[in-house]
Structure 1
Amino acid sequence: MPQLPPVTKALLLICTAVFCVQLLMGPWLEGWFALWPVASGHFMPWQLFTYAFLHGEPLHLFFNMFGLYMFGAEIEMIWGRRRYMQYLAASSIAGGLTQLVFTAAIGQFGPTLGASGALFGLLLAFGMMFPERTIMPLFPPIPMKAKIFVAVFGGLELLSGVFSPYGGVAHFAHLGGMLGGWLLIRFWRGQPPFPPRRRR
C-alpha cells in the first residue's frame, strides 16, 4: 500500500470534511453543489467540478476514498502534483458531462454526487500503467491482474447502466470518467485520435 502524497492526502481530508458539513446542512449544500440535470432548473456550471466532493452516505465516501488511496497515491508519486490534478479534473468533468447527457436522455431529474467519475478514471490509468500487477479488490476478494480488473469493472458498469438506468447509481458518470481519463492519456502520449506530439 503506497504512502500518502500531498494531493491525495488533501483530497481525502477535503471530501471527509465536506461530508461532515453535509450531515449538518446537506439539502442546502447539495442544492448548490451536487450535479443537477440541466432540465431540473438547478444546474450550475460549477457543479461539474463540485459534485465530486459530495457523497451520499458513509459507505459511499469510504469506498471512494479507499479507491483514491489505493490507486491514486502511487499515480500521483509517478506523475507529480500538476499532471495528477489535471487528470482527476478531466475524469471528473468528463464523468459529469456524460451523466448530464444520460439524465437528459432518460428524463431523470435527481442530482449526482460523488468522486466515482474521477476514481474510475484513476482505475483506468492504473490498469494502463501497471497492467500486469496483481491486485486484491475488496469486492470480489479475488486476486487479479490490473488490466483484468479494469475490464471487468468497466464491463459491469456498462451492463448496469444499460439494464438498470434508474437504480440510483451513476454508472455512466463512472464510464465517462474512464473515457475522459483515457482520452487525456492518449493526448499526453500523442496517440490517435490526437496528433503526434512534437518533441522539443
Structure 2
Amino acid sequence: MRGLTEAVKHLLIINILFFVATQLYGDQMYAWFSLWYPENPNFEWWQIFTHMFMHGNFMHILFNMYALYAFGTPLERMWGRNKFLFFYFSAGLGAALLHTGVNYYLFNDGLQALLDSGIGKTELMQIITDGKYSPSWETVIGPDKVDSFLSAFSTPAVGASGAIYGILVAFAFTFSEAELMLIFLPIPIKAKYFVPLLILGDLFFGFTGTATGIAHFAHIGGALFGFLMMWYWKKNQFNNNRWN
C-alpha cells in the first residue's frame, strides 16, 4: 500500500497476526483475548485492549482494516503517530466501556427478574456459567429478556470496529466535504453526512435488536468518544508538538 503511515502499518500487522493465530488456535484465542462480561469466568483485565485485535471472520477484519487504512492514514499524517495512537486506543476503550455498560444493564435486568421469581442467585449463576439455561425462564420473563440476559453474559466482543468508528468521526470532522460511498448504496455522500448516517443505523439496530451478532453499542461508544475528543481538541486548539 502506497503512503502507509507508521502507526497504521503496525496496527494492520498486529491485527493480521492475531487473525492468523485465531485461525490456528480458535476457541482458545477467543477465550483469552476477546472482551467478556466481567462476571464471566473467561474475563481478564487485558481484554479491554486485546479485543481490539480480534475478529470473527475474514470479512470482519477486511472491512475494519480497509477503513483503518483509508481513514486512519490521512489522520496520522496530519496528527503524527503519538496523537493518532492515543485517539485510536481511546476510542476503542470508549467502545468497550459503553458495550460493557449496556451488557451490565441487560444482564442485571434479566437477573433481577429471575431472582424475583424465586430462583436462587447461586443456582442461577452456576447454570449460566456452565453454558446452560432453563427453558422455564422464558415463561417467567419472556424469551427476549432471556436472550438478552444470556447474550450479555456469554457472548464476547471482538473487533477494531469501536476504534474505527472513532476514526470515522475524526475523519468527518477534519475532511467533512470528502465524498464517500456505501457498498450497498453507491451514491457519493459527504463525510459530514455519511458518518452520522452510519451511527444512526447503529442506534436503530442497537435499540430495536433487529440486527443481532453485531456490537452496535460498541460502535456508538467509539463514535461518542471520538466526537468528544475531537470537540475538546478543537475547542482547546491542542498543539501537535505536545504529542511528539
The reply to whether TM is greater than 0.5 is: yes
| Aligned twin of 2:171 | 126
5+ unaligned residues in a row in structure 1: which ranges? Answer: none
Which has the higher relative contact order, 1 or 2, with Cα contacts under 8 A spaced 6 or more apart? 2
Match of 1:149 among 194, 213, 227: 194
Match of 1:135 among 164, 176, 180: 180
Q: Distance in 2 between matches of 1:137 and 1:10?
A: 27
Q: Are residues 31 and 2 of structure 1, via their aligned partners in 2, closer, same or farther at CA, if it must alter by over 3 Å?
A: same
Q: Distance in 1 between matches of 2:50 and 2:180?
A: 30
Q: Are residues 19 and 163 of structure 1, via their aligned partners in 2, closer, same or farther at CA, if it must alter by over 3 Å?
A: same
State the TM-score, normalized to the length of structure 2: 0.75
Match of 2:223 among 175, 178, 187: 178
Aligned Cα root-mean-square deviation (Å): 2.1
Q: Distance in 2 between matches of 1:95 and 1:14?
A: 19
| Aligned twin of 1:79 | 79
Q: Does 1:11 align with 2:28?
A: no
Quote how far apart the aligned CAs of 1:190 are: 3.5
| Aligned twin of 1:66 | 66
Moved over 4 A (4+): none
Match of 1:113 among 149, 152, 158: 158
5+ unaligned residues in a row in structure 2: which ranges? Answer: 108-151
Indicate conservation of the 8 Å contact 2:173/2:230, yes or no: no
Quote how far apart the aligned CAs of 1:139 are: 3.7
Q: Are residues 197 and 60 of structure 1, via their aligned partners in 2, closer, same or farther at CA, if it must alter by over 3 Å?
A: closer
Q: Distance in 1 between matches of 2:227 and 2:86?
A: 13
**Residue-pair matches, total:** 195
1:39 partner SS: coil
Q: Distance in 1 between matches of 2:238 and 2:59?
A: 42
Q: Are residues 197 and 116 of structure 1, via their aligned partners in 2, closer, same or farther at CA, if it must alter by over 3 Å?
A: closer
Q: Does 1:160 align with 2:205?
A: yes
Between the aligned residues of both structures, percent identity stands at 37
Indicate conservation of the 8 Å contact 1:2/1:70, yes or no: no
Q: Distance in 2 between matches of 1:158 and 1:16?
A: 29
Query: Deviations for 1:97-122, whole angstroms, at most 9, x for unmatched residues?
Result: 11101112222121000000000000
Q: Are residues 25 and 92 of structure 1, via their aligned partners in 2, closer, same or farther at CA, if it must alter by over 3 Å?
A: same
State the TM-score, normalized to the length of structure 1: 0.91
Q: Are residues 160 and 166 of structure 1, via their aligned partners in 2, closer, same or farther at CA, if it must alter by over 3 Å?
A: closer
Structure number with bigger Rg? 2
Query: Deviations for 1:4-53, whole angstroms, at most 9, x for unmatched residues?
Result: 11111111111111100001112111111110011323222221111000
